[in-house]
């Protein structure tokens, strides 16, 4: 009898000492290694992704309070997929099977036609592309509105960066000037400056015992237009960098304290997002996709060593 993995078919791509495993279910990044060393918190093909590890979050990231929002004057109710807090979380596509559109030794593109869902009466064609080269992994996430009415849209991704040793000892560099406070249901309350708070990682320093499940913005970009987040070992001998391109104005950072077993604080989720938590409710940075319109976002992960 053939055993089927919870995440479906496993797709492996390789290039330049890098190896990635991409899943059929959710189009997720199950593993990424460089010369055998993990760059992300991976998991067994016999498991479901712990803490949504490696999954794209579409067509919205993070949470929608009460699952209720208004778009073009129409009140809508999403399914409450985070019952503990009474929210709708992380979109629809994490548990859906994606089909392979194209692939070669070093890259793969998966696609999904998302049909209308409760509280989201739209049709989107979604694509997720993973490509490896000598510099690292590049991920491109695209959406096109195939319906006849405008659709609200946001993108997110949920990789957990990994370096050897305890997370407390890892050194984080996060070029973000602002963070969001949240209420007991993890819904944003107020935007604050990071200066003078435990959330200021603009100058690299160890994570220590800081607990993060926090949205950051006010991002500083390098001369090439990319924002870069770096996680390294204390001695700088090993590190990993997450970069994000145009349209990514938010990063959710999560230390994994609420995860169980070996996944707890086993990696640092650095989640590129096009909009903040509760965006469908507030309208902040929500993309309006008119019929036939398309949008693409890019992010990636590379090995990094501090010099």
**Token representation of residue 139:** 């991920």
pLDDT of residue 1: 58
Residue 89 C-beta-side C-alpha neighbours within 13 Å: 15
Q: What is the reported pTM? A: 0.96
Q: What number of other Cβ atoms are within 10 A of residue 260's Cβ?
A: 9
How far apart, in whole angstroms, are the C-alpha atoms of residue 250 and residue 236? 26
Band of pLDDT at residue 218, cut at 50, 70 and 90: very high
pLDDT tens digits, residue range 90-133?
999 999 999 999 999 999 999 999 999 999 999 999 999 999 99
pLDDT digits (tens, 9 = 90+) for 110-122: 999 999 999 999 9
Reported as type and span, the H/E element at residue 69 is strand 68-71
Q: Which pairing describes strands 250-254 and 213-219: parallel, antiparallel, or unpaired?
A: antiparallel
Q: Are the CB atoms for 131 and 25 separated by under 8 Å?
A: no
């Amino acid at each position: 009898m053939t055993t089927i993995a919870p995440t479906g078919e496993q797709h492996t791509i390789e290039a330049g000492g890098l190896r990635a495993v991409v899943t059929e279910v959710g189009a997720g990044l199950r593993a990424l290694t460089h010369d055998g060393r993990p760059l992300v918190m991976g998991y067994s093909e016999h498991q479901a992704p712990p803490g949504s590890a490696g999954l794209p979050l579409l067509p919205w990231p993070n949470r929608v309070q009460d699952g209720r929002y208004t778009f073009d004057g129409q009140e809508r109710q999403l399914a409450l997929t985070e019952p503990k807090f009474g929210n709708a979380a992380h979109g629809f596509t994490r548990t859906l099977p994606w089909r392979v559109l194209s692939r070669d030794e070093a890259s793969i593109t998966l696609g999904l036609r998302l049909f209308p869902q409760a509280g989201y009466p739209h049709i989107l064609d979604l694509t997720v592309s993973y490509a490896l080269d000598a510099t690292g992994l590049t991920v491109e996430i695209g959406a096109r509105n195939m319906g006849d009415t405008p659709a609200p849209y946001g993108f997110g991704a949920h990789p957990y960066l990994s370096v050897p040793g305890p997370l407390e000892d890892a050194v984080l560099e996060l070029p973000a000037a602002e963070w969001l406070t949240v209420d007991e249901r993890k819904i944003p309350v107020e935007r604050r400056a990071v200066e003078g708070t435990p959330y200021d990682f603009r100058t690299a320093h160890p994570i220590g015992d800081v607990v993060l499940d926090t949205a950051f913005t006010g991002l500083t970009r390098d001369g090439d237009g990319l924002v870069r987040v770096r996680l390294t070992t204390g001695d700088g001998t090993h590190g990993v960098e997450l970069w994000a391109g145009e349209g990514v104005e938010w990063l959710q950072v999560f230390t994994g304290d609420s995860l169980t077993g070996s996944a707890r604080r086993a990696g640092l989720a650095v989640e590129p997002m096009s909009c903040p938590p509760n965006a469908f409710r507030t309208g902040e940075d929500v993309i309006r996709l008119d019929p036939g319109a398309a949008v693409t976002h890019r992010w990636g992960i590379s090995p990094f060593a501090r010099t």
